[in-house]
Amino acid sequence: MLESLLTNDSRMEPYWALAESLDVPVAINMGEGPPGAAYLIPTYRARLTSPYLLEEVLIRHPRLRVSVMHYGSPLIEEMIAMLGAYPQLYVDIGGIQWNYPRAYFYKQLKELIDAGFGKRIMFGSDQMNWPGVIEPAIAIVDEAPFLSGDQKRDIFCRNAARFLRLDTKTCD
């Protein structure tokens, strides 16, 4: 029988433990699948997007380096609650910037920035089979009227370099 797998499911536990002990960064999908996903992928459930599902994982594995891909979109308030409570947590914006109408994405990005999380947001394209999305994915962030040059550099490079333990000097 097919069933959905929750982020905090016990069957995931050995993998979280391995990632923590080997210090392997983990990026986890929390966000929208394609419209009608449950009809294409029978175990997909919209409600499993909830960033709160990650909470007990972070409690059990405080040294885990985790990024929430798609920042739990559209559950921005839960995501902000989790970013506030768990200072090691990062997010990426992969795909949301080109999948949604631009004004809607900007509103969410601005909320993350206004809430003080400009150092925890990483760029991502979520490019799958359409290389043409990469350029718009960059341009949409570049053209965000509320971001300073410094904030853009953080999102495009410095935050990810810090998360991945690369030399942040390579960004500037």
Partner 1 sequence: MRCSVMTAFVLLVVAHVSAQDGAPRPLIIDMHLHAHTLSMYGTPPPSICANNQEILFPAWDPHEPLTYADAKSCPERLKAPETDEELLQETLSLLKHHNIRAVTTGSLDQVTKWYAGAPDRIIRAIPFAEPKYETRDPAAFRRLFAEGKFAVFAEVSPQYDGVSIADPSLEPYFALAEEMDIPVGIHMGEGPPGAAYLFSPKYRARLTSPFLLEEVLVRHPRLRVYVMHYGSPLVDEMLSMLYSHPQLYVDVAGNDWSLPRKEFHSHLRRLVEAGFEKRIMFGSDEMVWPGTIKVAIESIESADFLDEEQKRDIFCRNAARFLRMDVKSCGE
Under the rule (CB under 8 A), what is the footprint of partner 1? 23, 52, 55, 59, 62-65, 77-78, 80-88, 90, 111, 114-120, 159, 162-163
Q: Which is nearer to partner 1, 9 or 77 (CB)?
A: 77
Estimate to the nearest angstrom the gap between the alpha carbon of 18 and the chain centroid: 21
Instruction: Identify the residue whose tokens are 């986890």.
Output: 28
List helix spans (H) across the chain: 13-22, 37-40, 55-60, 76-85, 96-99, 102-114, 134-142, 149-153, 159-164
CB nearer partner 1, residue 31 or residue 51 = 51
> Least distance from C-beta 162 to partner 1, angstroms?
6
| C-alpha closest to that of 145 among 117, 107, 171, 119 | 107
Which residue, 23 or 135, is less far from partner 1 as judged by CB?
23
Q: How far is the CB of 159 from partner 1 (least distance, A)?
A: 7
CB of 91 to partner 1, least distance (A): 11
Compute the CA torsion angle 34, 141, 105, 24 (nearest 10 deg).
Answer: 60
The distance of closest approach from Cβ of residue 138 to partner 1 in the complex, given in angstroms and rounded to an integer, is: 22
CB nearer to partner 1: pick between 41 and 164? 164
Nearest to 34 by CA among 109, 108, 96: 96
